[in-house]
Amino acid sequence: MENIDYERCADCDEQGIFLDGARCARCLGLGYVPVEEDEREAEDTFVTISSVAA
């Protein structure tokens, strides 16, 4: 299992939790979109910003 460190994004220098000092979700082109809760357990998912705008 990889260590998760509180680091700065390699591209924009924003602080956050990244695996191995990776780039943040914004720099990777990802957005955070919560999935609506239903009878199953609540889940969260990451989608690309372009698919959200469509």
Q: Structural domain tally of the chain?
A: 1
Against a cut of 0.95, is the pTM above it?
no
What are the two backbone dihedrals, phi and then psi, of residue 51, each rounded to the nearest 5 degrees?
-75, -25
CA–CA dist 45, 8 (Å, integer): 22
Quote the pLDDT of residue 38. 52
- How far apart are the C-alpha atoms of 12 and 2, rounded to whole Å? 23
pLDDT digits (tens, 9 = 90+) for 14-27: 777 665 556 777 77
**Which regions of the chain are under pLDDT 50?**
1, 34, 39, 42, 54
Query: Quick one: pLDDT at residue 13?
Result: 78
Give the residue numbers spanning the domain of 17. 4-53
